[in-house]
Amino acid sequence: MINEEIKKLSDILLQSLYDYHFANNGGSYTLPKAMVNADVSSKQAIEYLIEKDYAIDSGQGSDNLVLAITAQGMDYIKSK
């Protein structure tokens, strides 16, 4: 079970991905993995979003997370 702090943070991150998607013509948000790994709560929140299929990371094999919101993530944000 995910704790409330991580849930709130994941909602904030997902809203940010949603806003970024529309502000940047569907672009993905790039974050250095080292930065994410330094903050355990953020890392857990991002992992939660990916696990729930609300976001995808297309940065495998690189030093960055390349996050994009999925259609399921958009539906979740719209339903809030």
Closest CA to 46 of 71, 29, 25: 29
Domain assignment of residue 41, given as a range: 4-79
Counted domains in the chain: 1
pLDDT score at 35: 86
Residues across the chain: 80
Q: Are 71 and 18 in contact (CB under 8 A)?
A: no
pTM over 0.85: yes
Model confidence over 46-72: pLDDT tens digits? 999 999 999 999 998 899 999 999 999
CATH number for position 46:
1.10.10
Model confidence over 5-23: pLDDT tens digits? 999 999 999 999 999 999 9
Beta bridge partners of residue 55, listed in sequence order:
69
